[in-house]
Structure 1
């Protein structure tokens, strides 16, 4: 089964760098069966690669404001994204990005990581580093059993 992780974020913006941090971790410590695309702040620019890869599963990982404790990780439903409950710092609305992915891929999951501070020039916080490692470990086991956003 072809599986793909698409990370979203800007590593120059503090905890918004959660996605790129996960991409680097996956590139350095490859997990068999998973490919990774660091989508940066414009993941829609990689739709052509997704189409060419034809993955069966895509997991999108991004730091997003969910009004939770810093470092909290949640599976976010399409309804929550569509209701604009989720705030993102990126060019294209997440709802559009996820909908477009679902036209190409049978299973799409969106994993949100609650940031602590998103500000230019700050490093990724320790809470987000721990959350990224947890996401990596879950990908390694193949069980995306994160709590759902409520």
Structure 2
């Protein structure tokens, strides 16, 4: 079995988010996960990397990256005060993909894929953010290897997370294209996560 192209998967996810990221949109990227549970740290690691993107911050002022840990609901006040147009959540999620792969998930997918390291179910947190902030949301899952207690991410998950950050930075640094595929306040994952999973399965089964 050949290794998946993590950069291509990340690029597809980032491009699918363009409807959420028009020029000058106020955007929050909320990373979720514990540094003490190995790959569960992927979302928070992504947020940490995004805060270090000096070029992105200079080119796109209305941008905020937050490390949400295991209780992102505690940061709703901070998010609300930023007055975001869009909130994108990044988190480790079991999706039966290769380690480090990423995909946009629907609320139903989130319920089945996320882990008990979070204080509140993420669909509840997302709905609360939407209602409180009046913004659109999207959820990006990153496939872990292990979320057991311990320090250090699997190299494949680390690489996949870094690829995702690189592609998100590229998309947010240039004008958005108009892309169909919306569902209420959330990006419709039907043409994104399912398509990416299908492509991966066709190439690697």
Shift of 1:109: 0.7
- Could you tell which deviates more after superposition, 19-28 or 47-56? 19-28
Please state how far the C-alpha of 1:12 moved relative to its aligned partner. Answer: 1.0
Distance 2:134 2:99 in 1: 30
Q: If you compute each CA radius of gyration, which structure gives the higher value, 1 or 2?
A: 2
Counterpart position of 2:34: 10
Q: Is the 8 A contact 2:92 2:114 kept in 1?
A: no
Aligned residue for 2:151? 122
> Given the two structures, how large is their TM-score scaled by the length of structure 2?
0.66
Paired position in structure 1 for 2:46? 22
| CA distance, structure 2, for counterparts of residue 18 and residue 87 of structure 1 | 12
Specify which of 37, 44, 54 is matched with residue 73 of structure 2. 44
Cα distance, 1:79 vs structure 2: 3.2
Deviation at 1:139, TM superposition (A): 1.6
Matched-pair contact (CA < 8 Å) for 2:44–2:90: no
The unaligned stretches of length 5 or more in structure 1 are none
Aligned pair partner of 1:148 in 175, 184, 193: 193
Larger fraction in strand: 1
Within 2, Cα distance between the matches of 1:87 and 1:97?
A: 13
2-structure distance, mates of 1:10, 1:23: 12
- Greater fraction helix: 2
Bigger mean CA offset, 37-46 vs 105-114: 105-114
Deviation, 1:65, is 1.2
Question: In the alignment, what sits opposite 1:73?
Answer: 102
Distance 1:78 1:15 in 2: 21
Structure 2 unmatched ranges of 5 or more: 1-24, 180-188, 198-205
Q: Which residue of 2 aligns with 1:101?
A: 129
**Deviation beyond 4 Å, 4+ runs, structure 1:** 143-146
CA displacement 1:96-150 (0-9 Å, x = unmatched): 0111122124220100001011121231111111111122122212279993146
- Bigger mean CA deviation after superposition, 139-148 or 34-43: 139-148
RMSD: 2.1
